[in-house]
Structure 1
């Protein structure tokens, strides 16, 4: 449907942004019976509007502004921006969210808090739309924090489970670390450029020297939300939430927010900041991949896989390949959502997340098996699948960037990223074998008791598996150069190395062969513990941050009790003692003197009265006594 007026586009954009929040409020009062239908209706309507906007977006970004605050003459606006990248993200977020909600109807059909679950999902989607449509850093930060709140509510949805509650708090607190840096970066941006609008910031740093600290502070927001080293251990623990939430969180909402942020602020990243970004992304890619290698929880393998792939996208951003990173974000959303929903179908069938209690499930879950196989192969970068195309774009851009650098470290980054392709296939092949091949190892049930889930669950899985094929993203499924994505966002692919695809495929084949034949070593070996304990990062945080913080808190508590409270209490005791002393002095000395004078005055008065009593005898007696005393004084 063609739309010719900017006013109509602005109105549709405003309606689209408000829809999830209206759905959130409606679900707060709706009955449980209509909760799922209402949620899907709102998201489906949002998907339709997103498609309309995507078909009508122009090369010139559409900006919607309204005055938000006026502080000391400085105007801060609530600004929203619609461009081709935002339009594509709108379609992606709504599409994945709709599939997740359809899947949730069957997966959580016995959940008594279903209405709350769908309400939280609407809040989650609305917050992500706000980030996508934000026209300035201030508006983005507001929705950024709302995403943090929604993720906290969904990760801790099973609040009665201590592990879920702990995981929600861990995710919330670790993201606050990154968000604090992000906020400082926003302050620095306004200090240097006197604006926060993306339309101005896109060209603000052109021809000038960009402060490295500014870019790195803004990048900290991505480190938190997109689980980059070292702030990555919250993401695997977030698997305590419902499995459909994991699919949405890992595919199109929270973790995608950090990558989208980097795309928006990329013009503000100095060359030195970009090197740091590339280095952090590379470390995260390897760290996440190795951490996935020996995990036994089916969802944690996929979670660390997300960490690794996010590191790949961040490394692409650091090498200046924004379009390649966003392309991988797009393809990753489909096959990663498919993997998580397939994992949910497996868990639904065997009632455990431990892969050591699975095996042989390809016989009773054939649709899930083939869907999982397609999505896992796409993740690993197998030819003809979407992951192969997007990884080619990233790796080609990385080698192109390295050729332009003078440092030897720069040449190591694309090589490590290339080797990570084999690592990805290694842990995915191991998981594939443990779940679907061999003998069924669950002692509490038999293989005959496992079965495919309802079509409400199977349907989204199949759709996502089909969308993992490369033909949907490029006319030539073996080359990224024919992709429509780069035409939409007005960019070109930087992959021009003929040897890159064969080497990548060779590494994937080697990783698949080794992973399928790989036996699980003893859990107490250093290599396995390094994987199971996330590279000992949580122990490092415990040693360097948590324990010192607790010790400092205890020291301050003792200082407060002994020094501050002790001083106050001792001063209070001293005041009481001084009051008693003052009271004693007042009673014994002051009152004693006053009472003594009064007594003396009273006595002299009595004596005077006794003498002056009007009796002659008394007067003669006094006169005689007085005369005797005078004579005695005169002669002696």
Structure 2
């Protein structure tokens, strides 16, 4: 297919969601009844375009570009070209498919809201922004859409702007992302300075002209964009608070759009990352993975537990890039998109069941409908939700015969292969991945039990019921896509068609990795299962302190019995990381702020004293000279005589001096 044939689909992929955003936004509440279906139809059109034009590119790494000339700076031309390749194919399909299911789900979940048109308009703007990142062929264009994704997330997280916490959460997400985006922009400007372009294809050819030290700094700066968007340490604080938005928004942000953008960026710029930059990325990813897993262990908020889980899984994907295998990172991104979206939508179904008219309309409920201490025994009332949640939880925990098992084992394998070349200290990182996988299995078992098993702990006024078909059908589809067969024929070998298609070269397969990883997973599940048989499992029957939030992120280990001492090392790690963040990161931010204030006062003093002083002196001199000249022209003969004599005298002096 000629390159010109891709002009129309390129314009449609970006034009359709943006046009739909304008239609729903300007149409007002009169479109409330049809807004969800309009958005879903537009997304279906984008998905069909993706399937029709993109997948037949041939071999991996094949590339087609659609040039869009923008402007010139001297002899340097800036294009906003679009890029169609294997990586963009994968993301186009995932983003469209998950967004479609989220919108179908939202037609039922958000039906009672008074501003449904605005909700679906923001989703279309979000989709437009994410597609711009996916299709961008140069980093400057990617940065433009990067900022639009930040704006879209701000609008969606703070959708219920009449409530204080969503507004606060939206502002927090916006500010923390701007910090990472500043580093991203710095990296782009450095590339433009040293190479003169930001086009990915040209950069791949010109990378040898950049000194290695500078290239390392550029790679770390570009990684800063991922730190913000994909909630890596130390900018991960916004992700759990983003749960204040509507639950379908959480599924969209955590599965295939905003947080996936950072991993996609790392895959795009992998050729720019030096060994030192990858080591920094690996350390940051490991810290994030461990913190996220530990924070999820003792949370009570059904959505925040999943949010911390997302944070941990994103750290795992970043570690895969640090291992030098962006392909396995994208593999886990693809599997994670389906089972994590399924988990969030299933969590929304649970919330919908226990508060059918409150949470999804933005009103303040009489009790916390997201607190798992007020659930329990819901598997009978919500059989479909229970099955969907369990399947997706099994995939997240990395159980055999599920997609998460394949993608996690692929990363663990790459980790041990990398460590064999790095040295003995390098084995710490794949071992951390295995231990973190065990923690994931533990807290997911705990969450499934707290929601669906045990005694019923919700108020008598609550009558849980299964969600309508518009809600459980997307959950069922995502659950079905969490099974192994969609990614590999062999349930115990990740080297299936998916990794080959995305460009993973056939490497060494460690036969013992699936067995070791599965052993840790099953041991963790067994420990969690033993806790369910205690008199007060997970301390769920303890009285809920008045005013205590469902999530107490730093009170991790309260409530675990003595047999869970294996969690103590993680407590110490995260405790010292908290101290480091408070005493070093926060202190550095405060120092920069105070230094900027003092420097601003010095600049203001210099401006008043010297800049303004010089201007005022000039004005005074000219004014004085003018006044003196005016006095000499007052019409008095004596003045004229004096001027004439002085002029002749000065002329004589000048002639004598010559």
The residue that corresponds to 1:571 in the other structure is none
Pick one of 310, 319, 324 that aligns with 2:323: 319
Deviations 1:21-78 (A, max 9, x none): 1111111223222211211111010011011123332443111112212122321111
In the alignment, what sits opposite 2:39?
A: 39
Q: Is the 8 A contact 2:388 2:476 kept in 1?
A: yes
- Given candidates 351, 361, 370, the residue that maps to 1:353 is 370
1:307-328 C-alpha deviation (Å, 9 max, x unpaired): 0000000000001111110000
Shift of 1:271: 0.4
After TM superposition, the structure 1 stretch with the greater mean CA deviation from structure 2, 489-498 or 370-379, is 489-498
Instruction: Report the counterpart of residue 26 of structure 2 in structure 1.
Output: 29
Post-superposition shift, 1:195? Answer: 1.7
Larger displacement relative to structure 2 (552-561 or 304-313):
552-561
Q: Is the 8 A contact 1:323 1:493 kept in 2?
A: no
Aligned to 1:420: 436
CA deviation map 1:295-352 (0-9, x unaligned): 0000000000000000000000001111110000000000000000000000011130
Distance in 1, matches of 2:574 and 2:425, equals 25
RMSD: 2.8
Q: Counterpart in 2 of 1:630?
A: none
Alpha carbons 2:3, 2:65 under 8 Å: kept: no
Tell me, which stretches of 5 or more residues in structure 1 are unaligned? Answer: 569-636
- In structure 1, the partner of 2:557 is 527
Which structure has the larger Rg?
Answer: 1
User: Where does residue 221 of structure 2 map in the other structure?
Assistant: 217
| Alpha-carbon contact 1:389-1:480 (below 8 Å) kept | yes
Segment drifting more, 553-562 vs 89-98: 553-562
Distance 2:513 2:10 in 1: 41
**Conserved in 2, the CA contact under 8 Å of 1:393 and 1:494?**
no
Deviation at 1:547, TM superposition (A): 8.1
Secondary structure of the corresponding residue to residue 55 of structure 2: helix
Report if the CA contact (8 A) 2:3-2:66 is conserved: no
Note the C-alpha offset of 1:199: 1.0
Distance, in Å, in 1 between the alignment partners of 2:507 and 2:319 is 14
Aligned counterpart, 2:412: 395
Q: Give the distance between the partners of 2:279 and 2:380, measured in 1 at CA.
A: 48
Counterparts of 1:404 and 1:562 in 2: how far apart (Å)? 53
1:484 partnered with 2:497: yes
Q: Which residue of 1 aligns with 2:300?
A: 296
Distance (Å, rounded) in 2 between the aligned partners of 1:200 and 1:425: 44
| Residues 1:445 and 2:461 aligned together | yes
Q: Which runs of 5+ in 2 are unaligned?
A: 356-368, 532-536, 543-551, 560-569, 609-658
Candidates 138, 160, 164, aligned match of 2:162:
160
Can you list the C-alpha shifts for 1:230-255, whole angstroms capped at 9, x where unaligned? 11111001000000000010110000
* Alignment check: 8 A CA contact 1:181 1:220 kept: yes
Q: Residue deviations 1:58-114, cap 9 Å, x none?
A: 443111112212122321111111101101110110000000000000000101010
Structure 1 residue 404 and structure 2 residue 421: aligned? yes
Q: TM-score under structure 2 normalisation?
A: 0.80
Q: TM-score, normalised by structure 1?
A: 0.83
Residue 427 and residue 494 in structure 1: after superposition, are their counterparts in 2 closer, same or farther (change >3 A)? Answer: farther
Deviation at 1:544, TM superposition (A): 5.6
Shift of 1:546: 6.2
Aligned to 1:268: 272
2: CA distance, partners of 1:230 / 1:138: 25
Equivalent residue of 1:112, what SS?
Answer: coil
1:458: which partner in 2? 472
Shift of 1:504: 0.6
Change beyond 3 A, Cα 1:495–1:117: farther
Q: Where do residues 542-621 of structure 1 align in structure 2 (5 Å cutoff)?
A: none
Q: Work out the CA distance in 1 between the residues paired with 2:216 and 2:604.
A: 43
Kept in 2, the 8 Å contact 1:393–1:495? The answer is no
Alignment partner of 1:133 is 2:135: yes
Partner of 1:431: 447
For the residues of structure 1 that align with 2:556 and 2:12, how far apart are their CA atoms?
Answer: 54
SS of aligned partner of 1:33 = coil
1:515 correspondence with 2:522:
no
2:181 to 179, 182, 192: 179
Q: Which secondary structure state, in structure 1, belongs to the residue aligned with residue 265 of structure 2?
A: helix
Aligned length: 561
How far did 1:222 drift? 0.4
